[in-house]
Chains A and B, each alone.
Chain A
């Protein structure tokens, strides 16, 4: 990627909703290419900057599916502010591991984990008002907002994320072909 001194940098925001931060770790797996990326990109809201709210951005990268009310708010904030919104990883695309609870009753799940589990004496489902309310089902992000691109993988490799971002920033239509396109 060419150096673009004087050019406005591409603003990128990232977040993890119902994810494990594995996709963010994979982002770091771009290794020294991060330095290349840093020449043309600046970060808005992201675990890398610790900025709490997203401003106007060019690219939003979303890891994880939508499992609670806060996820919905964050996702909508990203959609409002990002010109291009990208679903990164299996959970953002199809719910992934958190969605394995989707065929179970949410109340039964909470009872099983916080009340009925062996070894719990005085259990109780956490109800602190600080805690975001859970949705009855975990949703892929495209069921909540419009999504422009998808990068599958659990997680997508650093190579896949690099290929996608350099294509997008370089003005090419991003395309991940086999074997960069992977669902696991």
Chain B
């Protein structure tokens, strides 16, 4: 790239028409593609369209610096996406940026504060035993209130028992004695019977009600039952609040969606295994047993012991108490049942998974194991009005800049400026169309710094023409006529353009890779326009100049052509001898412009 051979470039020079046709076809094709894709304007960033943009930074746990890697970040993005879009923000986008940043962009009109809260907190993943579950919704909320009242006595036992169970999680004997349904849960079981779920719902009662003697927490249990009864998981707000403030060691209520997409509510026992106990989770297509997509989990050493204990305990229970719930951020993401103790440190969850859903669950499971927390680094909320103003200001600034450049070019280069302006227009059209197309394809969003980059790029693009034009003029000053001048000036101008554009592109590329946020948008535009500059100069400006050089207006050196030999102070045509006879023309010759 640095120094192309000085020979002439075959295609651009000898067949100007072909290059021009090529670039015109490219423009038409791209424009057609743009209209076909239905995205006729570049996607606007938050700062121009309005909305909230949150930048999060991953902070690894001590001694786990290598935890910031692509897999982990991608997993985190999946989780964040789920959380933000769980708010009903369908267009929120979450993406990684740089090495350790995650950007969450939330378009205007959604509750940005809520979203901010959601992404700002650390996700927590727990495995909790299911105590009771049922489909939630109108039917459930309408269910008779007897639950709290009828259960007063049983509840005492319930909570104590569950507390106990946490402590004695490793002891399967405690749990074995449990299945005693309280009146409460039976009352509820009536409604449960309605649900067409794979998980039969003879509701509940704590796994370890065998130890009713423990004390303290009765009130809590009562509250829990009351919460459970009142919980309507179809209500978004209620869902978000469910289990708020409960500690992992407490029993809690939670919501989750079953495979039919119905909301289901749960009473869950204390967390037995937490996310960090999961070493690895993967979505696997199990072809040997024909189970379809499954999720395999591998536990850490400590985790596998705990998991063996909980499964051993659960396996002896009746449904639904043989289920454990995988709870992410207080929401049940999966509630598989257990038929035997799983002691190997490996487990497989099967069911009606699709590839997507199994992968999503695997991601969530892995997320719990991420030794990362996310810190809010910046939150920018731009009102739609301000965004519009900034966009407008950017466009006006661009227009003024462009007008000034065109004015200067016309004054200085006269007729030649037409070629420069045409090239700028082609370059501008290409930039616009490509930006519009990059929106849907790679998620490129035009932000304010990107607009700045495009405006600054006017200078870089125009410079390529200046380099070339100055070269041509030098050749004319040497006494050449226009056509040979155009051809002779090209190889050197081309080299200069390539070398300098390469440096500019290098700067843009390094900035794009290394930096974050706003800087990146700027670098992207700069890099894109630099590339387009090369394309335009090679395929448009040069061939156009070659064609134009044939016209009388330019080749005769009309005083408005910008190539008037007299005005340029050309030497009279050289007498052709073996060596230059004009003293001045000799040594001073090589002018790099």
A and B bound? no
Chain B interface (Cβ < 8 Å from any Cβ of A) = none
Chain A interface (Cβ < 8 Å from any Cβ of B) = none
